[in-house]
Structure formats: C-alpha cells, structure tokens
C-alpha cells in the first residue's frame, strides 16, 4: 500500500473517457500537484461500435436515475465494460513504457459521465475505482465531481487548475483562455493574478457526432468535410442560440443532452453539419462576455481542435490570436487525461481541484475518492468478469 507525502514528485496516469464517447485517452504525468515536472507518453484507445452502443444505452438509462449509485441494467453493463477497457489501457501504457505498478503512484480515473444535473445535486460517472485498482495493482482516485456537486457546485469544469499550471510552466501571456472542445465545450480564463473563471460554453462535438452518425453512419465529421460541403442556416443557428443556457451567468455547466438536434429537422446532412459547427463556435465566442478582460491568446484543445472548420471559424471570429495546444508544446487530445493525473495527485495531497470561479463552490475544495488495491482480489484486465 502506497503512502502519499504532500509535495513529493510522483508519476501518475490520467484516464479520460469524454462525452463524445469515442474512446479512452491515457497519459503519464510527473507532478507534485503544483508543478508539472514532465508530460510523458500517451495512448488513445477507440471504442468499438458495440461498446459505443453500450454507452449510448447507459446514457439513455441514466435519464431515469435519481441516485448516483444506481447501476442496474444498462448502467451496470456499461460500467463493467468501461472498467475492463480502462484497466487494459493502463496495462498497455505501462508495458509500452517498461513500467510496473511500483513505478506508478496513482491513477486518476474520470470515468464516463452519463448524467450531469448539478441543479439536482446529481452527477453520474460510470467506472468502478476499486475494481480498476485491483486489476492494475495501483491506487486509483475517481469520483472527482461528486463532492463539488454535493457542496452546491456545478461539478464542472475541473481541468482549469491544470490549465493554469500548463500556462505558468510555459510563461504564456495573461490573460489567457483555454478552450476544450470535447463532447461539451468549456473555457478557462486565467488572469494575470492567477484568478480562474471557467464554465461550459455550449456544445462541443457531441451534437455534430450524433448528426454525422445519423446521416452518414460515421462516428464524427472527420476533418470537417461534411460541414465544409454545406451552408449555415442562420435561422436555425439563431434558434439554437436562443437556448436559455446562454442567458445564464457563470459558473454553469451542461449535460451532453441539454441541446437537441430537433431544430435542424429538414436540413441536408451537409447544411446541418455546417450549422452545428457554427453553433459550437458561436457559443465559444459568446463566452468572452463573461471575462473580466479579453484574453491575449486563445489555446484550443480536445478532439474538436482537430476539426479544421471549427478552428478556422474561431480564428475569424475572435479578436485575439488562436493557437492549437500543439503549438505550445502540448498534446491537443490528451490535456484532459493529463489533467486527471494532475488532479489525482492534488486529491491525495488535499489540494483544491475546484474553486468558486470555476464551479461555484463556496470555497476552494479538494475532491475525488481514493481506492487502494486489494491484493487478494487482483485480477488481470483480460480476465476480469463481466461484473467487474
């Protein structure tokens, strides 16, 4: 059993399965919970079509959930599958880097969000932390959002504390805005005084992915090709932007299904994709209304940062320069996974992961739940039972 001494530099693995439901991102990070000593190897594991169907069924089932511990039916099946797949991803990342469980101090396991209703003090992330710890023989921190939501916070976004550490390491100009375009898009504004303001801006990839799947059978609009072939419906875009979420002041957060593609009925596949891309961009630009000062630089990360149509439009709409995280020396797709490695270390050291300006909690607070491996229950990922 590992002991954790605050301030010690340790190696951790972060795991992220985002609202896009496209796969698992895994990343190695060395940190003391304050400084990022190094960003190591990364791994991306796509879900199979069957696994995505399993997750989609879990999201649908979660709409009827009133308690976050319910795991019956589709929810239990999805959690078991997710835990097995994450355990396999951890094992593969360690093998590729010649590491064993003794050389990894912690795993930060985000899990899969299937329901996010902070107004009801309810957020549900699937993933069995104890089963994962047993399978890989490494302590696991998970359930990062629960304590924040119980305290009246939004439970999201949580990566801002990591965004600030990245920006300070790189000595980037402040104020700075990070935009993560995952299934839902979120922004982090970092002031010159280290102040953090963060919130979900609106849809990221989720609506566009769903539209592409419905009309093309593909899991995404790869390289923005579908959107580039279409035209934006200004009438539909204006309807989408009248959603009451945009009138709310931060802190605020979203569930994957808070927006509906119903407004796009009658649009061609190409025009629908163009309109949804424009919706994501317009919502990000609107976020700047809530910044105390305009950012001197926008940094884009997340899967949506690989969509050239989204990026080109943002560059036209923002007054300040826009760069991809790659251009600052970071991995566009893996910042969220790296963030949960960083937050796992902060969690065991008792350091805050959420703040009044990022989630609306009354005061800075730590979060996450630590699971130590139970050696007598150690099971290799490839032999884990369906029940996890």
Global pTM reads 0.93
Q: Supply the pLDDT for residue 4.
A: 86
Q: Supply the pLDDT for residue 142.
A: 98
| Residue 7, phi then psi, degrees to nearest 5 | 95, -15
Q: Which residues of the chain have pLDDT under 70?
A: 1-2, 20, 377-388
160-334 is a CATH 1.10.3720.10 domain:
no
| Residue 16, phi then psi, degrees to nearest 5 | -135, 130
Q: Supply the pLDDT for residue 380.
A: 58
For the stretch 338-347, what's the b/e string if a residue is b when 16 or more beta carbons lie within 10 angstroms of its beta carbon?
Answer: bbbbbbbbbb
> Side-chain half-sphere of 49: how many Cα atoms within 13 Å?
5
Q: Where are the domains of the chain?
A: 10-153+341-353+367-383, 160-334
**CATH fit for domain 10-153+341-353+367-383, picks 3.30.420.40, 1.40.20.10, 3.40.50.740, 1.10.3720.10:** 3.30.420.40
Dihedral sign from CA coordinates of 70, 151, 255, 235:
positive
Q: Write the Ramachandran bin of 127: left for phi over 0, alpha for psi from -120 to 50, otherwise beta.
A: left
Q: Are 10-153+341-353+367-383 and 160-334 the same fold in CATH?
A: yes
Q: Please, is 352 exposed, middle or buried when counting C-beta atoms within 10 Å of its C-beta (0-12, 13-18, 19+)? A: middle
- Whether 195 contacts 293, CB under 8 Å: no
> Which residues, 6 or more positions from 28, have their beta carbon under 8 angstroms from its beta carbon?
11, 12, 13, 39, 40, 41, 42, 93, 97, 341
β-pairing, 122-126 vs 106-117, is antiparallel
Q: Supply the pLDDT for residue 385.
A: 47
Tokens representing 334?
């893996």
Q: Please, is 169 exposed, middle or buried when counting C-beta atoms within 10 Å of its C-beta (0-12, 13-18, 19+)? A: middle
């Amino acid at each position: 059993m590992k002991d954790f001494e605050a301030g010690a530099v340790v190696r951790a693995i972060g795991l992220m399965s985002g609202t896009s439901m496209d796969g698992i991102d895994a990343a190695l990070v060395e940190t003391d919970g304050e400084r990022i000593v190094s960003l190591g190897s990364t791994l991306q594991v796509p879900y199979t079509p069957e696994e995505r169907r399993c997750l989609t069924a879990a999201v649908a089932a979660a709409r009827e959930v009133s308690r976050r511990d319910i795991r019956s039916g589709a929810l239990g099946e999805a959690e078991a599958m997710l835990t097995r797949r994450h355990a396999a991803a951890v094992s593969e990342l360690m093998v590729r880097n010649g590491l064993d469980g003794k050389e990894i101090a912690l795993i930060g396991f985000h899990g899969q969000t299937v329901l996010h209703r902070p107004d009801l003090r309810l957020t549900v992330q699937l993933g069995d932390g104890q089963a994962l710890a047993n399978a890989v023989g490494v302590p696991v921190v998970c359930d990062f959002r629960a304590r924040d939501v119980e305290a009246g916070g939004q439970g999201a976004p949580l990566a801002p504390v990591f965004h600030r550490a990245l920006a300070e390491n790189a000595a980037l100009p402040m104020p700075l805005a990070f935009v993560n375009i995952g299934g839902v898009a979120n922004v982090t504004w970092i002031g010159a005084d280290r102040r953090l303001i963060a919130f979900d801006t609106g849809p990221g990839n989720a609506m566009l992915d769903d539209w592409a799947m419905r009309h093309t059978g593909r899991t995404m609009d790869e390289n923005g090709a579908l959107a580039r072939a279409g035209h934006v419906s200004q009438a539909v875009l204006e309807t989408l932007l009248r959603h009451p979420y945009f009138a709310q002041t931060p802190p605020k957060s979203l569930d994957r299904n808070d927006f509906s593609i119903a407004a796009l009925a009658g649009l061609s596949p190409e025009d629908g994709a163009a309109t949804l891309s424009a919706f994501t961009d317009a919502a990000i630009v609107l976020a700047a209304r809530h910044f105390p000062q305009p950012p001197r630089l926008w940094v884009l990360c997340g899967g949506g940062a690989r969509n050239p149509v989204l990026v080109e439009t943002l560059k036209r709409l923002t007054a300040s320069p826009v760069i991809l995280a790659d251009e600052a020396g970071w991995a566009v797709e893996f910042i969220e996974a790296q963030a949960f490695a960083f937050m796992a270390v902060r969690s065991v050291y008792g350091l805050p992961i959420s703040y009044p300006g990022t989630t609306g909690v009354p005061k800075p607070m730590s979060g996450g739940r630590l699971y130590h491996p139970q050696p007598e229950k150690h099971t290799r990922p490839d032999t884990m039972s369906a029940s996890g």
